[in-house]
Amino acid sequence: MAKASAANSGPGGKTGVRIVVCGEKGTGKSSLIVTAAADTFPANVPPVLPPTRLPEDFYPDRVPITIIDTPSSVEDRGKLGEELRRADAVVLTYACDRPETLDELSTFWLPELRRLEVKVPVIVVGCKLDLRDENQQVSLEQVMMPIMQQFREIETCIECSALKQIQVKCFNSPLQPSEIVGVKRVVQEKLREGVNERGLTLAGFLFLHALFIEKGRLETTWTVLRKFGYNNDIKLADELIPYSAFKRAPDQSVELTNEAIDFLKGIFELFDADDDNSLRPIEVEDLFSTAPECPWDEAPYKDAAEKTALGGLSLDGFLSEWALMTLLDPARSVENLIYIGYPGDPSSAIRVTRKRRIDRKKQQAERNVFQCFVFGPKKAGKSVLLNSFLGRPFSDNYTPTTDERYAVNVVDQPGGTKKTVVLREIPEEAVAKLLSNKDSLAACDIAVFVHDSSDESSWKRATELLVEVASYGEDTGFEVPCLIVAAKDDLDSFAMAIQDSTRVFTFLVMVLYK
């Protein structure tokens, strides 16, 4: 068997884990290690094993794990202390057929770990379960609870037999009917609403795991979390996100499928507790309670969709937020769909659209989400345009936009169809950086250039930006339709505005279609 040291690293640069096994002489330390590594009980084992490397696929994380056996003699206590100080975790053994070895845990071994200032998780393992006297059967919880209350560093406790390869556990085999009845009874005694005619309710399920944690059975909760794909940070493991499903060319985008949209409509109705056809902030928070955080609390999603008078999201606003997240960060969108219980294959929730250049040649788009880049000089009215798109009232207070900002809403089409439009405001000073990327206009369906219709300098700067963007689109092969928007129409327009706009439009036709 291969040997390893703590210096070894696993995939992604993770450092290997050292597990030190210690305990009274004859408690089964070496047999436990060999059986764990080789899946076979050894006929003969030396008093102390050399460092033992577990197979690479022993755990899903594939982190190199080295198990260190230790001597139990008094004269070797110095060496034992050195190994314990280097440990990432400690397995402390006792023999189920020798009660005195269990007593030694609290009278010597656990105090010794504290004296050595070993501050790593401790797992207590009762070995030789097959040798315990049948007339002296006791509950593991009864035995260990007083010790675990005294020594909080104990992570969990198990009893096992290396010879019979049995372990006291609840998983990898279905619960027996009597066990299910017992679990339900425990929950119902403490939390009446935790059980109904179908089994455990959500409240009951959460209570049960709170009970596991309180009693030191953390491995039970971690087993459930890992079963559903969560990693050590209680986030979904990368392998659950179908990254290959949204590989795309620069002028392609990612959208939710009808299947995913139907699921989200059902989720909206489920969490609209007061049936007011909107999700209040507390209802949105409840919806994402199974995710690490609400994904819309920060830019670019915060305040990107239309809100009700009470700050809630209508169904269109709710779906708009999902459309924007899927457009900008499809991996995060799929991840959050899984968090809130999407039932199907995650890759069935999203689709990659046809290339925009093909749509333009065919003069027909199959896309449901369109992205509009909004350009213009300072104080032209770009932010007001975005606010108006979200149904927000006009304000005289001027706050310059320093970072890109998004506004997304659903637009009704003739015939009853709906499309989602995303407005992306580009601050004037950010245009140069945007156009430094040759693919920057690939994601743009239409470019809008806003100018203050009462300010001649605003008009001139808007036309300069228009020419710059249109020319860049031609040079990179990602030409975009352009639209001029005259803002502040309630103010007096300067005399040459209409004539100049005609000249710019003619120039654009020559540039884009020559």
Whole-number percent of the chain with pLDDT over 90: 50
In a domain, 403, yes or no: yes
- Structural domains in the chain (count): 4
Q: Where a domain ends, among 352, 383, 410?
A: 352
Give the span between the Cα atoms of 267 and 466, in whole angstroms.
Answer: 42
In three-state form (DSSP H/G/I as H, E/B as E, the rest C), the secondary structure along 342-409 is CCCCHHHHEEECCCHHHHHHHCCCCCCEEEEEEECCCCCCHHHHHHHHCCCCCCCCCCCCCCCEEEEE
Instruction: For residue 115, give both structure tokens.
Output: 């004296």
pLDDT at 503 over 60: no
Whichever domain contains 329, its CATH number is 1.10.238.10
Q: Is residue 292 located within the same domain as residue 378?
A: no
233 to 21, 285, 359, 407, 488: CA distances (angstroms): 26, 20, 43, 32, 51
**Which of 111, 129, 159 is the last residue before a domain boundary?**
159
Helix (H) or strand (E) holding 181: helix 177-190
Contact criterion met (CB below 8 Å) for 93 and 125: yes
Q: In this structure, are 495 and 384 located in the same domain?
A: yes
Residues 216 and 488: their CA atoms lie apart, in Å, by 66
Q: Are 437 and 309 found together in one domain?
A: no
Given a cut of 90, whether residue 390 has pLDDT beyond it is yes
pLDDT at 513: 38
CA angle 407, 317, 264 (to 5 degrees): 130
Average pLDDT over every residue of 2-28: 66
Question: How confident is residue 398, by pLDDT bands cut at 50, 70 and 90?
Answer: confident
Q: How far apart are the first and last CA of the chain?
A: 72
Residues 442 and 249: their CA atoms lie apart, in Å, by 9
Read off the pLDDT band of 190 (50, 70, 90): confident
Question: Which residues form the domain of 38?
Answer: 17-159
* DSSP category for residue 109: I
* 497-502: long-range contacts, CB 8 A cutoff, minimum separation 24: 497/453, 497/456, 497/459, 500/459, 500/463
pLDDT grade for 27, boundaries at 50, 70 and 90: very high
Mean pLDDT of the chain: 85
Question: How would residue 415 be classed by pLDDT, with cut points 50, 70 and 90?
Answer: confident
278 in a domain, yes or no? yes
Contact 465, 441 (CB under 8 A): no
pLDDT class for 8, splitting at 50, 70, 90?
Answer: very low
Instruction: Give the CATH number of the domain where residue 485 resides.
Output: 3.40.50.300
335 domain residue, yes or no: yes
- 347 and 305 in a single domain? The answer is yes
Asked if residue 172 is part of any domain, the answer here is no
pTM for the whole structure: 0.64
Asked whether residue 214 falls in the same domain as residue 248, the answer is no
Residues 257 and 149 in one domain: no
Higher pLDDT, 166 or 383: 383
What pLDDT is attached to residue 396?
A: 79
Residue 313 resides in a domain: yes
* Least confident residue range of 62-66, 126-130, 245-249: 62-66
- How far is CA 187 from each of CA 207, 212, 224, 384, rounded to the nearest angstrom? 7, 12, 18, 55
Does 332 reside within a domain?
yes
Residue 360 lies in a domain: no
CA–CA gap between residue 395 and residue 114 (Å, rounded): 64
Residues 387 and 469 in one domain: yes
Same domain, 208 and 250: no
Same structural domain, 281 and 375 = no
Is 149 within the bounds of a domain? yes
Reported residue count of the chain is 514
Distance from C-alpha of 19 to C-alpha of 84, rounded to nearest angstrom:
9
Beta carbons within 10 angstroms of residue 93's beta carbon: 24
Q: Are residues 186 and 141 in the same domain?
A: no
Indicate if 42 and 148 belong to the same structural domain: yes
Q: Do 435 and 389 fall into the same domain? A: yes
pLDDT digits (tens, 9 = 90+) for 423-434: 999 999 999 999
The residue from 129, 159, 189 where one domain ends is 159
301-341 per-position pLDDT tens digit: 999 999 998 899 999 999 999 999 999 999 999 999 999 99
Quote the CA–CA distance of 244 and 251 in Å, as a whole number.
Answer: 17
